[in-house]
Amino acid sequence: MNFLRTFSLRGILALLLLSGILSAKAQTSGVPVQPGYYNMQLGDFRIVALSDGALPLNMHTLLHEAKKGEVNTLLQQNYLDTIVETSITAYLILNGDQQILVDAGSGSFLGPTLGKLQSRLAAVGVRAEDIDAVLLTHLHVDHVGGLVNEGKVVFPNATLYISKPEADFWLTASNKATANKRAQPFFDLAQTTIQPYQQAGKVKTFAPGAQLLPGISAVPAVGHTPGHSFFVLESKGQKMVFWGDVIHAGAIQFADPAVTVDFDVDLAGAAAARKQTFEDAVKQGYWIAAPHLSFPGIGHLRHVGKEYQWIPANYAEIFAGK
């Protein structure tokens, strides 16, 4: 289903004006793309970052700066322009016969620079029908759009895991009318992508903090959306936390976690969750997987003065996993 057919015209215009999604830079037809997968080992689990592509976003229209002029200053300090290519990454977790996706990319809904998840899976030897479970951090289109193709399920043997507060919010049709304007454009697509799995009996909702699968638990991180969740993977003393959308603009929000993004349903709640998340990551020193940081979005966080610094995973040419 085409993105432009799904939203009302008013919803499309509002979303595009707010975020600058369809920048001229999105037209990359014919331009070679980067390799789109990255492997690492975490205990008994193999983690594969899978790029769904990148979306040019206008940081000035998308972000709500906490201090006047800070967005422009921080962009300049990081050698970035107003329009920043923002990664959209899904993560594959492999352990024996278990094949699990964390989020599912945007599918055909957000234009020609995205929708690459299926080709990335094929490149690492995984078919859509091999996926056993899809863990959804939340139900925004860039995380659920790849679940369907022309209204049909893409992952026929997978069960979707969605936090109950998230499912209750987005999958209740009447909530759209009372939601704020930032949230309203996302309701129809959430329902469009999840409904075929509901009809097939392939959706499980979970309580915040639940143990979902061996080695994998959920942690609530509400604010960005009402049921936004992290997923925590632990094995042999190692830990990785899949962050979902606690951060969109690393150059800005690591320097000032109070900066919010227009996609946040609850701006104040998202800022508070981000600050708490950053502190926890620094204190515990675990691995982080963040889908909107520069691909592969895997690394650690540390304090530098009053700010935070992202330490990306060191590149390894030889993958030592199983």
Helix (H) / strand (E) element for 280: namely: helix 267-284
The pLDDT of residue 167 is 98
CA distances from 249 to 31, 42, 191, 229, 252 (A): 25, 26, 27, 19, 6
Residue 16's nearest CA partner among 28, 27, 33, 3 is 3
Residue 249's nearest CA partner among 37, 66, 71, 20 is 71
The pLDDT of residue 31 is 57
pLDDT tens per residue across span 151-184? 999 999 999 999 999 999 999 999 999 999 999 9
Cα angle: 118, vertex 120, 125; to 5 degrees: 95
Coil vs helix vs strand at 44:
coil
pLDDT tens per residue across span 74-129? 999 999 999 999 999 999 999 988 999 999 999 999 998 999 999 999 999 999 99
The pLDDT of residue 131 is 98
> Rounded to whole angstroms, how far apart are CA atoms 253 and 77?
13
Contact assessment for residue 253 and residue 247, using Cβ atoms and an 8 Å cutoff: yes
Provide the 8-state DSSP code for 311: E
Residue 321's nearest CA partner among 34, 110, 42, 16 is 42
pLDDT beneath 50: ranges in the chain: 1-29, 322
Omega cis (within 30) before 296: yes
Going along 150-272, which residue ranges are E strands? 152-153, 159-163, 203-206, 211-213, 216-220, 229-235, 238-242, 260-261
Helix (H) / strand (E) element for 70: namely: helix 70-77
Instruction: Identify the structural domains of the chain with CATH numbers, from first to last.
Output: 3-312 (3.60.15.10)
